[in-house]
Amino acid sequence: MRLLKFILINIITFTVLLLIINWACGLYLKKGNTQASRDALPNYQADPDYAKQIFKDYNSVKHIYEPFVGWKCLPYHGKTLTISKEGERVHTPTDTTSRAKVVHFFGGSTMWGEGSDDQHTIPALFNQSNPQYLVYNHGQLAYNTRQEVDALITLYSKNKHADLVIFYDGVNDAAFLCPKEITQLPAHRLVPMYRDKIYVGKSAVVKELLIDIFLDNILKVIHKFTYKPTADNSLYDCVSDPAKAEEIAEIMMKNWELAHEIITQRGGKFIAILQPAAFVGAPRTDHLKLDEALGENFRSVYTNIKRKIAERKHPWIFDMTDKFDGDELIYIDFCHVSSNGNEIIAREISSVVNNINGQEAITQ
């Protein structure tokens, strides 16, 4: 009994110490994170309080499982952010006049408008310049081109009309498919989490919980002081595995081509846009801390995409990766932007759309 009591006391003591050390490591990691919060970036210096509200609303967004695409936003109504009962971000139209044509925007969080309020997303700003259209924002956080095609199919299956569909892509296909844990394509950002948490059994769930409580922060601190990036221990493999970078780019192009076929066969028009990112072109990034390992792998995918765009010469694909080049503060991380970036892209899209409409008028 004395031996059992001694062992039990030591186990309890060790467990409590481990819990305390893991908690302390968490505090250390939090304190050691010198990266400025995004609302404190100079992009928002004109109204920092409003910026805080934008990110407060953003951090309040919750998601629910959605068939085929994986997830979707739950309805939400805040001071700067409104998500409809359909799970889509909405804005207030500039007027109430009748609109003859319908435009559907698809994309990830950049199209959704992360970093901006409802009236300064790309679709909202496009609508301000083009009030004759009825505009829908189908952007969802972390969606890539394959998920957008699935969302597009759902749109048509519900008998929704589309005169024009715009895909704004590149970042999520490149950034979230290059991690080594993505071992099979096509995929999306949450594939590793789904595989780790669904159909894994109770023992795996308990194991993960115990690691989170007792070891996770300790392991992160050890990694911080011992990790030296090399090709072998990189989190990404698009540089070390050029075939993967090529496959990601090809899948993305095929998704665009499939979307084009679906839409044009039903009487609509399709525009695909290769979006800007802080890792490509010559934008201002001195106010940010960027992950260069991600950047190298990201560029390997974008290089392939750009080559394919040049080879296939589809007139409906537009490369806008240079639109943020210059000294203006636009990025708030490697891909998201403040509202001035959305204004630039909205103007560019308006120009493309008006040019298409002008060419149609000439030929009619």
- For residue 364, pLDDT beyond 60: no
Please classify residue 96 by burial: count the beta carbons closer than 10 Å to its beta carbon, then call 0-12 exposed, 13-18 middle and 19+ buried.
exposed
Residue-level pLDDT at 278: 98
Same domain (yes/no): 139, 267? yes
pLDDT digits (tens, 9 = 90+) for 199-208: 777 777 777 7
Same domain, yes or no: 306 and 157: yes
193 lies in a domain?
Answer: no
Domain-located, residue 188 = no
Whether 321 and 208 map to the same domain: the answer is: no
pLDDT number for residue 150:
98
> Among the three residues 212, 233, 254, which one is the final residue of a domain in this structure?
233
Q: Count up the domains in the chain and report the number.
A: 2
CATH of the domain at 148: 3.40.50.1110
- Alpha carbon distance 323, 325 (integer Å): 6
Q: Tens of pLDDT along 288-298?
A: 999 999 999 99
**50 and 24 inside one domain:** no
Look at residue 35 in the predicted model and tell me its pLDDT. 55
Please check whether residues 242 and 168 belong to one and the same domain. Answer: yes
pLDDT tens track for 1-59: 888 888 888 888 988 888 888 888 888 877 766 556 999 999 999 999 999 999 999 99
* 239 and 336 share one domain: yes
CA angle centred on 362, ends 357 and 364, rounded to 5°: 90
Q: Is residue 190 part of a domain?
A: no
| Secondary-structure breakdown of the chain: helix, strand, coil percentages, each rounded to the nearest 5 | 50, 15, 40
Same domain, residue pair 305 and 329: yes
Residues facing residue 166 across a β-bridge: 105, 271
Model confidence at 362: pLDDT above 50: no
If you average pLDDT over residues 277-298, what whole number do you get? 97
Both 140 and 285 in a single domain?
A: yes
| 225 and 264 within one domain | no
> Could you tell me which of 156, 165, 59, 180 has the C-alpha nearest to residue 105?
165
Residues of the domain holding 3: 1-34+201-233
Q: HSE on the CB side for 61, CA within 13 Å?
A: 25
Does the pLDDT of residue 361 top 50, yes or no?
no
Q: Are residues 210 and 85 in the same domain?
A: no
The gap from C-alpha 197 to its chain's centroid, in whole angstroms, comes to 22
pLDDT in tens, 335-346: 999 999 999 999
Mean pLDDT of 260-275: 97
Residues 218 and 292 occupy one common structural domain? no
- Residue 358 in tokens: 């002008």
pLDDT band at residue 232 using 50, 70 and 90 as cut-offs:
low
Q: 3-class DSSP state for residue 162?
A: coil
The pLDDT, as a whole number, for residue 359 is 65
Q: Do the domain assignments include residue 161?
A: yes
Q: Examine the pLDDT at 347 and tell me if it is beyond 90.
A: yes
Tell me: do 209 and 352 sit in the same domain.
Answer: no
Q: Does residue 300 lie within any of the structural domains?
A: yes
The tens digit of pLDDT for each residue in 123-165 reads: 999 999 999 999 999 999 999 999 999 999 999 999 999 999 9
Domain assignment present for residue 139? The answer is yes
Could you say which of 192, 215, 233 is where a domain stops?
Answer: 233
Q: Please state, for a pLDDT cut of 70, what percent of the chain lies above it.
A: 93
Report pLDDT digits (tens) over 50-95.
Answer: 999 999 999 999 999 999 999 999 999 999 999 999 999 999 987 6
Q: Is residue 194 part of a domain?
A: no
